[in-house]
Structure 1
Amino acid sequence: MNTNFEYIFQKSNIGIGRRKQATARVFLTPGNGQIIINKTAGEKYLQYNIEYLNKILFPLKQLNLEQQFDIIVLVRGGGLTGQTDAIQLGLARLLCKMEPQNRVALKPHGVLSRDARVKERKKYGLRKARKAPQYSKR
């Protein structure tokens, strides 16, 4: 965990992923498969949820690179699910930027697609985005 963060964050190789309100900046360094999210161990940050960890590591597993890189992430906004999806997208984009032929392997699995669904804004006269006040005839 004693990583020189200032050195890593100055590198030009950065993958940016977004989902809902979450934005993740992903950096890769040669290593042994550690995940560091917001200067915290990835397992602890994701509350030891195996599904979240597997989702993040999915692009690396598809390319058989799990034990070759350490993943360092700065993530803001949203909840854990949105952040996990944002990290996965950022990692997949970074892998494609590093080696263009990785795109062929990752594209069929849908990890390069940005999920553009976000919460709809509330409209005036309504209780939520679409929920109207109860109608009373009498």
Structure 2
Amino acid sequence: MALPDTNALGHEWAILQNNHERYENAGLLIKLTGVVLFVACLALSLDVIIAMLLMLVLWVQEAMVRTSQSRLGQRIVRIEQALASGTPVQAAPYQLHSEWLATRPGLGGLLAEYGRNMLRPTIAFPYAALMAITVLWFLFA
């Protein structure tokens, strides 16, 4: 058996790791946008339903971004395992999309994956809290 091409795997790892961090930054920007939107909704006294729908859109958007980030993370771990073991561990270089397409779930599976990511505490926290505050603000203001 041939050993994995560690130069190619190392190159792929570096690129994917950089993109993984970019997804992290994108997620934080979406969260900050949610906070700004929350303040704007309160300042403009927007209807609670409109404010909640706007925050829900951002919540779903972040779940989609985090799902893509998760896919990169899975590939990064596979590359790290291949590099650490020095054996060909089904981690041929530059196979991110081919691997994902081979295991791609249908529409229902994709929506379920987005939903699971929406419910992760680090993703749900600001949106659920801001939506609850929005409801309370409009009920008691």
Shorter chain as denominator, the TM-score bin is: under 0.3
More helix by share: 2
Instruction: Identify the structure with the greater strand proportion.
Output: 1
Radius of gyration: which is bigger? 2
Higher relative contact order (CA 8 A, sep 6+): 2
In the superposition, the TM-score normalised over structure 2's length comes to 0.27
